[in-house]
Chain A
């Protein structure tokens, strides 16, 4: 909110509305990217866990198939949501500073 906006004529209101709309959009997008990042983290963890258990051989064929279908559906859903918010895979990440990024960038 700058003095300049207030001193403009009647377009002050649409400008402000426009800016608020843009702000809301970016707030939504920010929240979406945070939430999707967490979900993506969980998806990767589950995928890793599933593959490990398959390698260990303690799942039946039916369980493997069911797990695979679920993870596949989850990945598809994630992609949909990501694209809905206009987020690229790289956008889903959190920088933990000295610890590096939350999600490995190449999985």
Chain B
């Protein structure tokens, strides 16, 4: 019996009506992407070498940011390409199975979940909105405490207290802005959630990231949504907004994520 040398990497679940994977598409290992077709659902997969994708080598690779970047982009490329011609339910990065039989088994076990996920995202697109603020623009100019040359230590403490208070006020104001923006955008979406703010060392931005949201929006409302982002940008001059997308509905594949947002 020959030892297995490959595993199956899963990209996304698509309706079975989908006739084939987009031609010439390659995946995380440069492998050709293919379709495993079930009764009502199919899944886009690739055969990847165990030498790189077995538990231990994969774990090591995932700690290498360059490898991770390449693989994540490839994973997304496959899903994004598929999303151009059908609804897709993305699978989490690094979902691997030993063989085709196991993949078919999970397709039928989770038929209901996948089907409702497909229905939930049909005709909808995920958009990302990030908001940044320059803390200096938020802080009200601190009243210069009367400086008394006879008591420089006391003056110092007064200054420090004013600065701390100013920072607190700025944080509060920023939180309020973030909340207003998130609420306004969630109003136009069927699902909304916030990711943690991105690490400034990786994302390279100045100031504070006060919002890092994902919004599931009906395609007919996409323009309206983009306009709302624009209008929030105008309404809050101290806040800078960035729209990213269109994304396949990564953040809204499970029911509780949708419940977290405002429903329309």
Binding site for B on A (CB under 8 A): 47, 50-51, 54, 61, 64-72, 106-107
- Does the CB pair B153–A66 fall under 8 Å? yes
Bound together, the chains give a CA A30 to CA B154 distance in angstroms of 35
Do A61 and B154 touch (CB < 8 A)? yes
In the bound complex, do residue B167 and residue A68 qualify as a contact, i.e. CB atoms below 8 Å apart? no
- A106 and B207 CA atoms in complex are apart in Å by 10
Residues of A near B157 (CB, < 8 A) are: 50-51, 54, 64, 67-68, 71
Q: Give A71 Cβ to nearest chain B Cβ, in Å.
A: 7
Binding site secondary structure of chain B: helix
A54–B162 alpha-carbon span in the complex (Å):
13
Q: Is B92 an interface residue (CB 8 A)?
A: no
Q: Does B135 contact A (CB under 8 A)?
A: yes
A3 to B167, CA, bound (A): 54
Nearest A residue to B150 via CB reads A65
Shortest 8 CB-CB contacts between residues of A and residues of B: A68-B153, A69-B153, A68-B157, A65-B153, A72-B156, A68-B156, A65-B151, A65-B154
Residues 101-115 of B at the A interface (beta carbon under 8 Å):
none
Most A CB contacts (10 A, CB to CB) among B155, B164, B167 go to B164
Find residues 196-255 in chain B having any chain A CB closer than 8 Å to their own CB.
none
Contacts of A65 in B (CB 8 A): 151, 153-154
**Do B164 and A69 have beta carbons less than 8 Å apart?**
no
Given A106-B135, A106-B167, A107-B167: A64 and B154 interface contact (C-beta under 8 Å):
yes
Is B154 in contact with A51, judged by CB distance below 8 angstroms? no
What residues of B have a CB within 8 angstroms of the CB of A50 in the complex? 157
B135 closest partner in A (C-beta): A106
Judged by a CB distance under 8 angstroms, whether B259 is at the interface is: no
Interfacial chain B residues near A67, Cβ < 8 Å:
153, 157
Binary per-residue interface labels of chain B (127-161) against chain A in the complex, 1 for a CB within 8 Å, 0 otherwise? 00000000100000000000000011111110011
A100 and chain B: residue at smallest CB distance:
B196
Can you give 15 contacting A-B residue pairs, CB < 8 Å?
Answer: A51-B157, A51-B160, A51-B161, A61-B151, A61-B154, A64-B153, A64-B154, A68-B152, A68-B153, A69-B152, A69-B153, A71-B153, A72-B152, A106-B135, A107-B164
